[in-house]
Amino acid sequence: MAWVQRWLLGLMLACYVLAGACPAPGEALRALKVSIGAGAPALTVPMALLAVMLFNAGLGVRVAELRGVASRPARLVLGIAANALLPLLVLPIVALGLRAWPDPAEAEGLVVGLMLVLAMPIAGGAASWGQHAGGNVPLVVAMVLGSTLLSPLTVPLGIHLAGRLVGPDGAGALDDTAKVDLVARSGAGVFAVVAVVLPCLAGIVVRAVLGEQRARRVLPAVKAVNLVNILALCYINAAGALGQALAHPDADLLVLALAASGAVCCLTFCCGRRLSAWTRCAEPERISLTFATGMNNSSAAAVLAAGWFSHRPEVLLPVLAYSLLQKIVAGGAARPPGPARGARQRVTT
């Protein structure tokens, strides 16, 4: 697990470097669109890659393991609610903190980008990290599934909040306020249904049809496809933002995006840990609640940001930074206790 994650971080960084140095192929791929019907949104390459990734995530869900979680729903509801409601507390604080930044458009772009991440459902990777840390894996999987099913409601509401924070009554006057409102009213809900919910449910159904034995045989290939998908999404989504950022370098904006993303990411993990301690649940459930609260589907956020705000790198930069930093923070949170800590736990129990 740790070996895979270390390589994944390095490969993601390589994709970001490639996107900054050679953005043209990624921009061309992102511009490709296929109409899927009158009134329906056009299907883009990033949306297709995201759908495949979430379909594969659905293939990894064992419904039989979720029955025990459903019989005790309190922790499940708490994890889903915490992930959905935490942006309502975190984003206003971030918006207020960024008011002092000399460029309001940059500050507001960062707020929108961070909101896109926090509004997304729990990341499927939370189950892998939670398992590595000794968490209750079926509980995390149920939280991921529950927040995914709620995403057609939570994503538009989160983006609506971002519009209020950056609009005329918020921190300033973002020139894309009307676009933020449009995304909240129509684009985000449709995106969540088409690119997030339906592929995940399709994967669950396909696993049920295949049966456990055949599903286990195809899972290694599924994981390899997912790795390629993640890296392709990293390159395509980063191509526009990093290409523009390097064409017009702004070190202050890059540092601010990294600092704001890191602070918000650490804050969400800390809030999850404190909430789990406050509920006095067992250690595996505490770990599960921490990762469910702290990890969001940054790939989906990057696809949405690149599709609607490709001309504003300050919106996509915090999403890309968050995608990397969240894995680094999760790696620290998933680190098993050392001998000294384990000895102290045995003495006190």
Please tell me what DSSP assigns to residue 44. E
| Alpha carbons within 13 A on the beta-carbon side of 103 | 9
Count Cβ neighbours within 10 Å for each residue of 185-223 and write b for 16 or more, e otherwise: eebbbebbebbbbebbbebbeebeeeeeeebeeeeeebe
State residue 121 phi and psi, 5-degree precision: -65, 170
pLDDT at 121: 84
User: Is the entire prediction scored with pTM above 0.85?
Assistant: no
**Own/partner pairs, 210-213, CB within 8 angstroms, 24+ separation:** 212/62
Instruction: Give residue 276's identity as a one-letter amino acid code.
Output: S
According to DSSP, the residues that pair with 34 across neighbouring strands are 43
| pLDDT at 349 exceeding the cut of 50 | no
Confidence of residue 340 (pLDDT cuts 50, 70, 90): very low
| pLDDT at 35 exceeding the cut of 70 | no
Highest mean pLDDT: which of 59-63, 200-204, 276-280? Answer: 200-204
pLDDT, one tens digit per residue, over 142-197 is 888 888 888 888 787 777 776 666 655 444 444 455 555 555 555 666 777 777 78
Q: What mean pLDDT comes out for the span 99-119? A: 81
Domains of the chain and CATH, by start? 32-334 (1.20.1530.20)
Count Cβ neighbours within 10 Å for each residue of 279-316 and write b for 16 or more, e otherwise: eebeebbbbbbbbbbbbbbbbbbbbbbbbbbbebbbbb
pLDDT at 110: 84
Dist CA 333 CA 342 (whole Å): 15
pLDDT, one tens digit per residue, over 258-311 is 888 888 888 888 888 887 777 777 778 888 888 888 888 888 888 877 777 777
